[in-house]
Amino acid sequence: MYEKFRNLLQMRGLKAADVSRGTGIGQVVFSEWKSGKCTPKIDKLTKIAKFFNVPVEYFTGEDEKSTSPKTERDAVNDFVNALSDEDFDRLSSVIKAVFPEKFKN
């Protein structure tokens, strides 16, 4: 289970201390988890999962089909797909201004 946590840290360029600050979970929990002395209880796993925007099953392995963490690209795609038509048009204008070479006709 710690390997999955370590993978998320590496993917996001974070340290356990960052997660500790973001979740309010003491750094001792992460140290003991890493050393194999304990496994965080479900309430702490839920906070960690929420911090990383992954289902808690990512850590527990209860549903292997839904355990892939979202990449930053996935998160951006979800954000864009949820935009209203008006907000999408505004964002599209900004993107076209920043990357005009990508939108040559």
pLDDT at res. 70 = 65
Q: Which residue has the tokens 């370590």?
A: 6
pLDDT at res. 24 = 94
User: Is 52:69 a contact under the CB 8 Å cutoff?
Assistant: yes
Tell me the two tokens of residue 69: 């963490």
Mean pLDDT, each 10-residue run in order, the chain (105 residues): 88 90 91 88 90 86 56 75 85 88 79
Please tell me the number of Cα atoms within 13 Å of 57 on its side-chain side. Answer: 8
pLDDT at res. 83 = 80
Tell me the two tokens of residue 14: 């974070």
Rounded distance, CA 5 to CA 8, Å? 5
CA 36, 64, 79, 12 torsion: positive or negative?
positive
User: What global pTM score does this model have?
Assistant: 0.58
Tell me the two tokens of residue 9: 């840290």
Beta-carbon contacts of 16 under 8 Å, excluding residues fewer than 6 positions away, are 9, 27, 30, 31, 34
